[in-house]
Amino acid sequence: MEATALQSPMSTANGSGQKPLGKTGVLLVNLGTPDSPNVPDVRKYLREFLMDGRVIDVPYAVRTVLVNGIIAPFRAPKSAKIYKELWDEQGSPLKYYGYKVEKLVQDQLGDDYVVKLAMRYQSPSIDTALDAFQKMALTDIVVLPFFPQYASASTGSVYEKVMDILKTWQVIPKVRFVNRFLEHPKFIEGFAQIARKYMATHDYDHFLFSYHGLPERQIRKGDVSKTVCKFGECCGSLRADNQYCYRAQCFETTRRLVKALGIPEGKYTTSFQSRLGNDPWIKPYTDDVIKEMPGKGIKSVLAFSPAFVADCLETTIEVGEEYKEIFEEAGGTHWQLVESLNDSPLWIETVVDLVKNC
């Protein structure tokens, strides 16, 4: 009797082996945003975000007291005022650009894919998106966190959340995770393309690349050998032994952008923003760097925030407005933010390529 080979999940109806039996689910995940800029919604968002053990990596009991007893109650009213500055008629830029990207990527990928946007914190939730995927008999799922550089507190947290949900499924399809994409040429060119329109109209004295900060202790935890991380020249190149160091990845992102834009040595700085609490965070601190610039003869700056792919509080308000004010108070005259990729064509091409080739 002739043996018949069982059809694999990647087989087609005619056995050509080119097309999956089912569709591919694509989960696009960004950090999150409050549902509104009102204090209760901001407080709810802060509590979910800061109670994540990968974000504030202290014992649960300490974190609970810190977040629910101190940070959320006192920070929510202040943050709500800032979110109201960010909000426009469409709502939160991070969310509405996310939905635009979801649609544009779906259009590009076609009917063999199902694309869903999710936020690590608040809505639309990862739980809701994966619940929908579970009912679709998908062949595989691609999880793409919208973080160019890997960090435990961002990409790692998305991985953990997704795996916590999937472990409860009876049938778990093939799952592929995108770890980072700072090396993707279209991601780099996307920021470079936006920057060039400003460089064409003004001769900048200096270029600032400001990334979201992390506590130094989290970088040390990621150094599994306990011999690499020195918070200095060890970030001068991206190698096998420091490839998951967030700080090293940020410096590598800067080097790639500098090369793409032809920026000379000595005319750019990499720094870190958005620190919280009194523990040391990775340096140099952006606000300290800015204060010193005018005294060094730097009067005009083109500022980038390449840890974010969509405009949000940390880009539009922190870098675009608050740092501009610090710079001008110190004697600077011209400050310009390079906006995020948002729904630009090159960003859509980047996402599509990452989904297809991860």
Please state, in angstroms and rounded to a whole number, the distance separating the CA atoms of residues 136 and 222: 36
* Closest to 270 (Cα-Cα) out of 278, 260, 78, 257: 257
Which parts of the chain fold into alpha helices (H)?
A: 39-50, 60-64, 72-86, 93-109, 126-134, 157-166, 185-199, 216-222, 246-261, 286-292, 323-329, 345-357
- Give the annotated binding-site residues: 212, 314
Residue whose entry in the numeric block shows the structure tokens 């082996």:
17
Binding residues for Fe(2+): 212, 314
- Give the C-alpha distances (Å, rounded to integers) separating 292 from 208, 264, 289, 328: 13, 20, 5, 11
Hey, what's the torsion of the CAs at 46, 49, 52, 54, to 10 degrees?
-120
Contact assessment for residue 260 and residue 189, using Cβ atoms and an 8 Å cutoff: yes
Strand arrangement of the beta sheet that strand 113-121 belongs to: 113-121, 24-32, 140-145, 174-177
With CA atoms as reference, report the closest residue to 94 among 263, 260, 313.
Answer: 313
Length of the chain (residues): 358
CB under 8 Å to 324, separation ≥6 — which residues? Answer: 335, 337
272 touches 285 (CB < 8 A): yes
